[in-house]
């Protein structure tokens, strides 16, 4: 148990990678704030399940990560409820697949807001408390697309390259405050985000579903396997541990060798 007496906010944690990270931090003893969209009864089941399984407190915030005031409000709520936000995981993200000339401008703005600017706003709100307490862990879910591009994902690739830069900048600003800032860059993980982009990828590339899965997604990863949500969550737990106190400003890949290739 590395996070007893600590509290964490995980954005975009009602499904996929974020939910696995929230559960893993709770397993280590942290109180957690879940955030994101979904069916209210399913969210409540996850929230209550975390409390009963791990003996911690879990709250749910419906804050929209495209809205700066809502993000600041969520951090303030977490600080009021738990006394602190010690761990901030900026994980909320969406995807949209289209050629640049057809890419809807509002989709571009939405992806930059949710996948990149939300991390800036959440850090802005959480850093003063972390500095006051002299400890903090900020983990940003980037992507293999923070290092390499794919066609038809202009906004996503731009946002993920941006979050890698924001991570390094924040790490330098906070280095003497015992606050580390890192990003994790998964390859393809089978979550709703990946599943939803298959029809548009089929259209953009003129492929069948099986071809998208095998010739686009799995073909990118030399291991030819999807990464699992728990493999990403394990890295988040490690980054919160004392063993990782000198790891800051890095971009840790968990991508089956994708970005080595």
CB nearer to ligand NAD: give 2 or 110.
Answer: 110
Give least dist CB 71 to ligand NAD, A: 9
Give least dist CB 230 to ligand NAD, A: 12
Cα 58 to chain centroid, rounded: 18
CB nearer to ligand NAD: give 13 or 154.
Answer: 13
**What whole-number distance in Å separates Cα of residue 251 and Cα of residue 259?**
12
Q: List, in sequence order, every residue forming a beta bridge with 35; answer none if it has no partner.
A: 61
Give least dist CB 112 to ligand NAD, A: 12
Residue 156 catalytic? yes
Look up residue 55 and give its two tokens: 């003996």
CB nearer to ligand NAD: give 147 or 247.
Answer: 147
The residues that touch ligand NAD, with contacts defined as CB under 6 A, are 12-18, 35-38, 64-66, 91-94, 114-115, 141, 143, 186, 188-189, 191-194
User: Alpha-carbon Rg of the chain, whole angstroms?
Assistant: 18
Give least dist CB 3 to ligand NAD, A: 21
**What whole-number distance in Å separates Cα of residue 255 and Cα of residue 162?**
19
CB nearer to ligand NAD: give 132 or 214.
Answer: 214
Catalytic residue from among 156, 188, 226, 258: 156
CB nearer to ligand NAD: give 103 or 135.
Answer: 103
Give least dist CB 134 to ligand NAD, A: 29
Give least dist CB 260 to ligand NAD, A: 16
Cβ-based neighbours of 113, under 8 Å, separated by 6 or more: 65, 66
CB nearer to ligand NAD: give 178 or 251.
Answer: 251
Give the catalytic positions in this structure: 156
């Amino acid at each position: 148990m590395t996070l007893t007496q600590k509290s964490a906010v995980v954005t975009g944690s009602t499904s996929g990678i974020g939910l696995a990270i929230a559960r893993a931090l709770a397993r280590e003893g942290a109180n957690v704030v879940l955030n994101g969209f979904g069916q209210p009864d399913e969210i409540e089941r996850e929230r209550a399940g975390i409390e009963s399984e791990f003996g911690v407190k879990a709250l749910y915030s419906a804050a929209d990560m495209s809205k700066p005031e809502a993000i600041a409000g969520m951090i303030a709520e977490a600080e009021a409820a738990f006394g602190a936000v010690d761990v901030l995981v900026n994980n909320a993200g969406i995807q949209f697949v289209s050629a640049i000339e057809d890419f809807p401008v509002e989709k571009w703005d939405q992806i930059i807001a949710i996948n990149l600017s939300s991390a800036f706003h959440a850090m802005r709100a959480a850093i003063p408390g972390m500095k006051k307490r002299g400890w903090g862990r900020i983990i940003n879910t980037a992507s293999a697309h923070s290092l390499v591009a794919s066609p038809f994902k202009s906004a996503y690739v731009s946002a993920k390259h941006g979050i890698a830069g924001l991570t390094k900048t924040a790490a330098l600003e906070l280095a003497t405050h015992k606050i580390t800032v890192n990003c994790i860059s998964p390859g393809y993980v089978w979550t709703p985000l990946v599943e939803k982009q298959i029809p548009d990828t089929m259209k953009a590339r003129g492929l069948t579903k099986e071809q998208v899965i095998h010739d686009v997604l799995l073909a990118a990863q030399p291991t030819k396997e999807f990464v699992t949500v728990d493999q990403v969550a394990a890295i988040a737990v490690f980054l919160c541990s004392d063993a990782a106190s000198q790891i800051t400003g890095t971009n840790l890949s968990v991508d089956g060798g994708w970005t080595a290739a």
